[in-house]
């Protein structure tokens, strides 16, 4: 508990210090609870998520950083490795490939990389995965782009 | 796969991170003694003699039984570690710190600290942020200092056992070794690459990310070589498997991992001819062996 708090505090300071270093990620700690974080990440360019801003919720366990944070999308997203209803993410580093060398910030980068490089063979969203597996890239992209417009685009005006 | 690891976890948790040191009993064993060791739950709380190993293989390969008998000529006791994928690092942790505690070898502590500082620089130069690994380094250095007697925070052998069973200490030190191992492999990636290609299809970086740094990933000779080299600590691994010599004569093989000194003898611990850390390897698992 003490160790995880100390580590998170260091990450917090690092995030403050490096605020402008990664313009695609905005990581914010909850005002009253250092174990709760949210992030806003920009959809990578040349993907159907381009132009969208996606919100992630982090729940950090007491055994952090020996145990990975739990991360899910709060913003609806059509992606083979993200559960369409719960926002749960299927990513090895959030499960058995986790190590304390990762940080909340680098997890965000890994999620952006996952958005650009979906792994349709281990789908949490089967509809999305099946489109890619059957080679219907166009179908996948137009569905994903539609949800980016509907759910992840900043409201105008 | 998930089910497999669940079963492994459940099995592994029957044993504390570190078992008790158990004296060897004279061979041959009477069958009735062997069967008494097979009582349920005996694996956890009872002091285990080296011969408990024989009990495990009682109805198994005669080669193994012969080898265990040979082992008992040279080794007095065994201490088991939990089979949770971290057993190599955990065995090394305890065997090394116990050696420091028993020998009070300050020269060795000073020597290993210099190598730990090198490891820190290695990680920094590889681009690891300090805050990702410094807590793990600090805890290991603290254990080293605590093992030396004469300070207010010096610890007893009993306390070392307690700490090694305490997840918040034990897992952090295992993780320290994982960082050190990963840094060494990546620093000398040209050297390790062919060995890694022999094990998996991964690049050096992928291997470190997937098979060295995550907790619970099992160790292979690549990990042992790297850790031994990085810290300059020789490690003897005694192999208990079914292999036998062509001549039909049974012998127990061992391999000494002797660290490269890079032309600087001060980098390596003394005792390269007889390493003070001795581990018993059975396919998939490491425990600690105590020479007579």
What's B234's domain CATH number? 1.20.1300.20
Return the pLDDT at A156.
Answer: 58
Q: A7 contacts in B (CB within 8 Å)?
A: 131, 135
Q: B131 contacts in A (CB within 8 Å)?
A: 7, 10-11, 14
Q: B132 contacts in A (CB within 8 Å)?
A: 65, 100-103
What is the pLDDT averaged over residues B277-285? 93
Position B288 pLDDT exceeds 50: yes
Least Cα separation, residue A119 to chain B (angstroms): 17
Rounded CA gap, B269 and B275, in Å? 9
Q: A100 contacts in B (CB within 8 Å)?
A: 132-133, 136, 175, 213
Least Cα separation, residue B102 to chain A (angstroms): 29
User: Cβ of B131 and A92 within 8 Å?
Assistant: no
Position B19 pLDDT exceeds 90: no
Q: Is the dihedral of CA B60, B62, B67, B72 positive or negative?
A: positive
Does the beta carbon of A65 lie under 8 angstroms from any beta carbon of chain B? yes
User: Cβ of B214 and A97 within 8 Å?
Assistant: yes
User: Which parts of chain A have pLDDT scores under 70?
Assistant: 1, 156-157
Rounded CA gap, B181 and B235, in Å? 14
Position B117 pLDDT exceeds 80: yes
Helix (H) or strand (E) holding A8: helix A2-17
Lowest mean pLDDT among A54-63, B121-130, B195-204, B227-236: B195-204
Does the beta carbon of B171 lie under 8 angstroms from any beta carbon of chain A? yes
Does the beta carbon of B177 lie under 8 angstroms from any beta carbon of chain A? no
Least Cα separation, residue B223 to chain A (angstroms): 16
Could you count the other beta carbons within 10 Å of the beta carbon of residue A22?
17
What is each CA distance from B136 to A99, B19, B175, in whole angstroms? Answer: 12, 23, 7
Does the beta carbon of B128 lie under 8 angstroms from any beta carbon of chain A? yes
Rounded CA gap, B278 and B288, in Å? 6
What is each CA distance from B146 to B75, B117, B174, in whole angstroms? Answer: 28, 18, 17
Least Cα separation, residue B171 to chain A (angstroms): 8
What is each CA distance from B217 to A96, B228, B282, in whole angstroms? Answer: 9, 18, 16
Q: B213 contacts in A (CB within 8 Å)?
A: 99-101
Range of the domain at B155: 2-291
Closest CA to B172 of B196, B138, B199: B138
Return the pLDDT at B37.
Answer: 27
* 3-state secondary structure (DSSP) of residue B260: coil
Q: Nearest by CB to A103, which of B129, B135, B182? A: B129
In angstroms and rounded to an integer, the radius of gyration of the C-alpha atoms of chain A is 16
Structure tokens at A153: 């685009």
Return the pLDDT at B184.
Answer: 98
What is each CA distance from B240 to B4, B51, B119, B146, in whole angstroms? Answer: 24, 14, 32, 34
Eight-state DSSP code of residue B289: E
Q: Nearest by CB to B210, which of A11, A66, A97? A: A97
DSSP string, B203-221: -HHHHIIIIISSTTPPP-H
Reported as a pLDDT band with limits 50, 70 and 90, residue B7 is low
Q: Are B164 and B18 in contact (CB under 8 A)?
A: yes
Q: Are A38 and A30 in contact (CB under 8 A)?
A: yes
* 3-state secondary structure (DSSP) of residue B229: helix
B87 catalytic per annotation: yes
The predicted-structure confidence for B25-81, as pLDDT tens digits, reads as follows 433 332 223 222 222 322 222 346 677 777 777 777 788 888 888 888 899 888 888
Return the pLDDT at B28.
Answer: 33
Q: What angle do CA B74, B75, B77 make, to 5 degrees?
A: 165
Return the pLDDT at B43.
Answer: 25
Rounded CA gap, A69 and A73, in Å? 13
What is the pLDDT averaged over residues B163-190? 95
Closest CA to A154 of A51, A41, A50: A51
**Sheet containing A53-59: which strands, arranged edge to edge?**
A25-29, A36-42, A53-59, A70-73
- For chains A and B, count residue pairs whose Cβ atoms are closer than 8 Å: 45
Least Cα separation, residue B83 to chain A (angstroms): 17
Return the pLDDT at B201.
Answer: 85
The predicted-structure confidence for B205-242, as pLDDT tens digits, reads as follows 999 999 999 999 999 999 999 999 999 999 999 999 88
Which pTM does this prediction carry? 0.89
Return the pLDDT at B5.
Answer: 60
Structure tokens at A54: 């996606």
Could you count the other beta carbons within 10 Å of the beta carbon of residue B244?
15
Q: Are B133 and B123 in contact (CB under 8 A)?
A: yes
Interface mutation target, options B135, B142, B167, chain A, most CBs of A under 10 Å: B135
Position B91 pLDDT exceeds 90: yes
ipTM of the complex: 0.91
Q: Chain A residue with minimal CA distance to B2?
A: A96
Return the pLDDT at B208.
Answer: 97
Residue positions of A annotated with a catalytic role: 90
Q: Are B84 and B67 in contact (CB under 8 A)?
A: no
User: Cβ of A66 and B171 within 8 Å?
Assistant: yes
Does the beta carbon of A126 lie under 8 angstroms from any beta carbon of chain B? no
Rounded CA gap, B50 and B265, in Å? 36
Does the beta carbon of B290 lie under 8 angstroms from any beta carbon of chain A? no
The number of domains in chain B is 1
């Amino acid at each position: 508990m003490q160790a995880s708090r100390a580590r998170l505090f260091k990450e917090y300071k690092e995030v403050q210090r490096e605020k402008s270093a990664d313009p695609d990620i905005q990581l914010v700690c909850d005002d009253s609870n250092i174990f709760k974080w949210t992030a806003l990440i920009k959809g990578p360019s040349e993907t159907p998520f381009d132009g969208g801003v996606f919100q992630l919720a982090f729940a950090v366990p007491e055994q952090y950083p020996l145990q990975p944070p739990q991360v899910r999308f709060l913003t609806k997203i059509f992606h083979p490795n993200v559960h369409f209803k719960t926002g749960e993410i299927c990513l090895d580093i959030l499960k058995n490939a986790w190590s304390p060398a990762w940080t909340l910030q680098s997890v965000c980068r890994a999620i952006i990389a996952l958005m650009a490089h979906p792994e349709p063979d281990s789908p949490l969203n089967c509809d999305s995965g099946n489109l890619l597996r059957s080679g219907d890239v166009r179908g996948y992209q137009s569905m994903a782009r539609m949800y980016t417009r509907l759910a992840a685009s900043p409201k105008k005006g | 796969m998930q089910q497999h690891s669940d079963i492994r976890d459940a099995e592994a948790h029957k044993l504390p991170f570190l078992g008790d040191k158990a004296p060897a009993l004279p061979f041959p064993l009477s069958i009735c003694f062997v069967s008494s060791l097979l009582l349920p739950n005996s694996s956890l709380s009872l002091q285990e003699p080296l011969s408990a190993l024989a009990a495990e293989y009682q109805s198994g390969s005669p080669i193994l039984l012969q080898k265990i008998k040979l082992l008992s000529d040279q080794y007095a006791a065994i201490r088991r570690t939990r089979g949770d994928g971290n057993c190599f690092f955990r065995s090394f942790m305890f065997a090394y710190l116990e050696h420091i505690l028993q020998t009070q070898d300050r020269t060795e502590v000073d020597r290993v600290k210099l190598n730990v500082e090198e490891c820190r620089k290695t990680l920094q130069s590889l681009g690891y942020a300090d805050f990702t690994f410094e807590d793990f380094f600090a805890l290991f250095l603290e254990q080293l200092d605590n093992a030396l007697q004469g300070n207010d925070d010096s610890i007893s052998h009993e306390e070392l056992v307690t700490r090694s069973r305490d997840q918040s200490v034990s897992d952090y030190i295992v993780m320290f070794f994982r960082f050190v191992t990963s840094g060494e492999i990546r620093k000398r990636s040209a050297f390790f690459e062919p060995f890694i290609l022999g094990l998996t299809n991964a690049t050096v970086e992928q291997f470190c990310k997937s098979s060295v740094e995550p907790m619970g990933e099992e160790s292979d000779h690549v990990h042992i070589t790297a850790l031994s080299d990085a810290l300059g600590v020789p490690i003897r691994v005694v192999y208990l498997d079914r292999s036998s010599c062509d001549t039909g004569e049974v012998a127990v093989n061992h391999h000494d991992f002797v660290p490269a000194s890079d032309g600087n003898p001060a980098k390596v611990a003394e005792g390269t001819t007889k390493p003070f850390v001795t581990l018993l390897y059975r396919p998939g698992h490491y425990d600690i062996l105590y020479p007579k």
